[in-house]
Chain A
C-alpha cells in the first residue's frame, strides 16, 4: 500500500524564521504536488514537481523532489503571517495519494 507521510503535522513558528516540511512516500513516483488550504477554504495548487531533482520556487516557498530518496521538501524562507495555512503533499500514483497535511502557524 502506498503511504505518504508528512512531518511535522503541526508547526508553530515565528515570523522571519526558516523551516522545512518533509513529505516521504513509499513507492516509486516521479510526480508530486503541493497544495495549500486556508481554514474553511478549498485546496489551492502550489507546486507541480514532475521529475527527479525538480525544484520550484514561488516567493518565500521552495519545493523540491528527490525520487530516489522518495522525498519532497517544502522550504519556507523568512516566514510571514500570510503563509499560515495547512500544506498538503500528494503523490501521483495513477490516483493522487495524499499526506495528512502540515498545519503551519506563523506568529508575528
Chain B
C-alpha cells in the first residue's frame, strides 16, 4: 500500500534562518507531488506541484522553493524565513491517472 511521510511534525525557526521540509512517498512510482500551506487552520493554498523528477510548477510567488531530486521525494526550502512563512505545511501525492489527492500529516512551522 502507498504511504506518505512528512517531517518534521513541528518546527520553530528564527527569522532569517533557512528551511528544509522533506516529503517521501512509498509504494508507488512517478506520483504527482504537491506542497500546500494552510494559515490559521483554514484554507489550503497550493504552493508547488511536480509531475516528475526535476519538474516544478510554482503556483504563487513565494519566499520558498521546491525541488524533486528523486521520483518519490519532494523538498520545500527557503534561504531566509520570514514571519509570514509561519503556517501548516502539507505534502500530498496523486497516483498517475488517479483523480484523488492524499495528504501527509503536515509540518507546523513557527517563525519567530
Chain A complexes with chain B: no
Footprint of B on A, CB under 8 Å?
Answer: none
Footprint of A on B, CB under 8 Å?
Answer: none
